[in-house]
Structure 1
């Protein structure tokens, strides 16, 4: 029977790997590493570095595969994502079949944690044949962002909301909360908000050597974040960032 392990590897710092993650990596017969194009080659490089650091099982093989790109021009967002997941599942299935067959242990190293704004669990359930699925939790970008700023996420006894840049831009500030965590923001959705009373804690490339963090009153620091984000994206060809907004009295 085929077993698929989705292993959370944190946000870029190999030191964030748990002992359970190291054990799962070494238990695999095959480790899949996705390639997302030359602009994001350092994401694949980091996965290879992690394997080089912790993989002691000499029989474990590593295979790379091209990750399909989502059609950003699809008018129906959910249909576009659904079609993309089908394409990714097909790529996984083809690579596993050619490298391992239908019996053995295959692992994917998941950025952050497989449970938070990551599609690997949904994609895994589309594989044919359907494997047994194991999950090894990892440090999320939210935890890494709070640690980078030495920031407690929630105020005393108060809730917080985790959302996306698209939802924040379309719906505005969510009702009933004063703390919002924003992920998967392809732009700078905080610019769509009234900045009065808002503080921001922002971070890009969290856990990686060129990590960038900035914080302050949104009216003052917001333009600096926009400029820093644009500069970083032009230099590297991609950016992975998240931020926390708190509304103050």
Structure 2
């Protein structure tokens, strides 16, 4: 039997690592890394830095790197495209499990943020175990999500008192509009700057962040109407500089006081 540890490593700051995650890191024999290309090499560097920082000096471990499958974000029906992408990733993981692990060893998959929030590694490992081609067991170690890192950096709460929160994507927010019975909407995976569609709504505030927790962190907050343009400019400049961007934001509706 081979063991897979799906380890949440936080939103970018190595100090986001929990004690549970440190203990898990020190159980791993081989770390699986999906290489997403030169532009995102810093994400691989952070994973290696975390291992060097938190794994005890006398413990031996190794890395196994594979090219991450590519996908077209604007091609076809979204769920079908993601299903195909995850099938491709499953095939890559199965190859690494078969070729890079011995029976009885433990592999680690270091997941940005928390593995349960907009990440497919848990689903992929569930499918690998169910397929039966590889004899594996797997465990999940939670991490600090981008959601919690962002609200902490802005020194705000995720929800207002007694009110619900919606966590969604830019695409879903475009399709459904701002939820009528929700004060707070946390938006991820928004490559189209959907917040700009709501910029004329004077009742909305925004808490936006990019590369949260890293040395490249950018934070902007205020009335959406006032700062939407500033966010768009900062986002474009950052993407040009780094070749990629990882950002998220919280939209908050200000309610009239009774």
Superposition TM-score, scaled by structure 1 size:
0.96
- Equivalent pairs counted in the alignment come to 249
Is the CA contact 2:16–2:144 (under 8 Å) kept in the aligned structure 1?
A: yes
Say which SS state the counterpart of residue 126 (structure 1) adopts.
helix
Alignment of 1:169-208 (within 5 A): 169-193=174-198, 194-208=200-214
Say which SS state the counterpart of residue 39 (structure 2) adopts.
helix
Unaligned runs of 5+ in 1: none
- Cα distance in 1 for partners of 2:177, 2:161 equals 24
1:3: which partner in 2? 3
1:215: which partner in 2? 221
Is the CA contact 1:11–1:140 (under 8 Å) kept in the aligned structure 2?
A: yes
Q: Which moved more, 1:15-24 or 1:89-98?
A: 89-98
- Cα distance in 2 for partners of 1:170, 1:130 equals 41
Q: How far is the alpha carbon of 1:164 from its aligned partner?
A: 0.6
Q: Compared with structure 1, are the counterparts of its residues 73 and 242 closer, same or farther at alpha carbon in structure 2 (3 Å cutoff)?
A: closer
Unaligned runs of 5+ in 2: none
Please say if 1:135 is aligned against 2:172: no
Q: How far is the alpha carbon of 1:202 from its aligned partner?
A: 0.3
1:123: which partner in 2? 124
1:42: which partner in 2? 42
- Cα distance in 2 for partners of 1:195, 1:138 equals 34
1:155: which partner in 2? 160
2:64: which partner in 1? 63
* 1:158-191 C-alpha deviation (Å, 9 max, x unpaired): 1111111110011111131011110111121111
- Cα distance in 2 for partners of 1:73, 1:138 equals 30
Q: How far is the alpha carbon of 1:130 from its aligned partner?
A: 5.2
Is the CA contact 1:172–1:192 (under 8 Å) kept in the aligned structure 2?
A: no
4+ aligned runs moved over 4 Å, structure 1: none
Q: How far is the alpha carbon of 1:73 from its aligned partner?
A: 4.4
- Cα distance in 1 for partners of 2:74, 2:204 equals 33
Say which SS state the counterpart of residue 167 (structure 2) adopts.
strand
- Cα distance in 1 for partners of 2:72, 2:233 equals 27
- Cα distance in 2 for partners of 1:233, 1:27 equals 36
* 1:89-122 C-alpha deviation (Å, 9 max, x unpaired): 1111112211114542111000000011111111
Please say if 1:80 is aligned against 2:81: yes
Q: Which of the numbers 213, 227, 240 marks the counterpart of 1:234?
A: 240
Please say if 1:19 is aligned against 2:24: no
Is the CA contact 2:98–2:134 (under 8 Å) kept in the aligned structure 1?
A: no
Is the CA contact 2:2–2:101 (under 8 Å) kept in the aligned structure 1?
A: no
Q: How far is the alpha carbon of 1:66 from its aligned partner?
A: 1.1
- Cα distance in 2 for partners of 1:140, 1:23 equals 19
Q: How far is the alpha carbon of 1:210 from its aligned partner?
A: 1.0
Superposition TM-score, scaled by structure 2 size:
0.93
- Cα distance in 2 for partners of 1:217, 1:146 equals 16
Say which SS state the counterpart of residue 127 (structure 2) adopts.
coil
